Amino acid sequence: MDIEAALRNRGKERADVEERRRAAEAYTGASLEAVASYPFDPKAAATNVENMIGVIQVPLGYAGPVLIDGDHAKGSFLVPMATTEGALVASVSRGMSVITAAGGARAKVLSDAMTRAPVLRVDGVDHAQRVIDWISENTEAIDAEVSKTTSHGQLMEIETFPAGRDLHLRMSYRTGDAMGMNMCTIASEAVCRLICQNTGAVLVSVSGNMCTDKKPASINAIRGRGKTVVAEVRIPKALVEEKLHCTAALMAEVNTRKNLIGSAMAGSMGCNAHAANMVAAVYIATGQDPAQVVEGSLTLTTCEVDGEDLYMAVRMPAVEVGTVGGGTRLPAQAEALNLIGCGGEGKARKLAEVVAVTVLAGELSTIGAQAAGHLGKAHSQLGR
């Protein structure tokens, strides 16, 4: 395509957006002047939204710097956070300053697998067993079918869960540096067609909800989905007292009575102070799927006295992030990823470790504020 044709197409795309926006204004009587202001070619969002009428802008700040010693994230980072919640970035920055002063946080990706869980209809338990046997005996044919749909994804495991005339298959995939849901869905549909052709089972839905995507689920808390990450820090006694204005023992008590006992009494699947806050802000900033904040909320925060010092850690069983594809291609989100050196291939696990340390910092700061009785005061001073 020559330059003139490209410019004509770009002009048409902007005109289409403006026409839809004006139609929405005429239909509703609302003014969309702010929505109309954005700096990029609408074509950049062609695969991210339908019926585009403009852009919603969320304030972006950065927390840090924070020192991270991860398997993939190493060094000092400024972490982009997009939020409308006053005090959040300030609180996370405070936690990061404590972590850095303590020598940094250790972070590690323990497992990495995106899941999709189709549900098949079978005739009964005997038929279900025949399907299960066929799957276990034909792994090479199944792998070949997956390879026809993706050059990046790899099927790692199929777990089978029969229940009456239902047969749920929880399929786990390596997805490279993409978050990978679309990749897994397309591959799973192909695998199910092969299974059904050879066993007489019937595919009811490519997602039977045992995945489990965008819903709180024990299976994700236990088995993980996306990247399971642990981040930890050991903070000397003097630093706890100087920076957090409390003691390690009091921090551990608040965490136990609040995050562990309180969460258990409430039946909460996440045992943390506010992990979803940090997950949402980083996900929105870096072009992740914000609905998967649900799985980020499954975080387990632990806190204990180590000698006279404080040991604190977060276990995040379902950090579902990518550094290619999806919203990561949008201009501002790509810049935010580059701010932490996480743009492009080979960076997804690095991003997951940065997310986990950011959550650790937010948990540290908030638990410290509650232990010191400063939470309400901090929010009041920062306009909340």
CB atoms within 10 A of CB 258: 19
d(CA 161, CA 159): 7
What burial class does residue 266 get, using C-beta atoms within 10 Å of its C-beta: 0-12 exposed, 13-18 middle, 19+ buried?
exposed
By three-state DSSP, how is residue 314 classified? strand
Pairwise CA distance, residues 127 & 303, whole Å:
49
Tokens in use for 381? Answer: 């001073």
Q: Which residues contact 172 (CB under 8 A, 6 or more apart)?
A: 113, 114, 115, 155, 156, 157, 158, 159
DSSP class of residue 47 equals T
β partners of residue 203: 120
E strand residue ranges, 164-308: 166-174, 202-205, 226-235, 300-306
Query: Which SS3 state, helix, strand or coil, does residue 21 take?
Result: helix
Length of the chain measured in residues: 384
Active site residues: 85, 289, 379
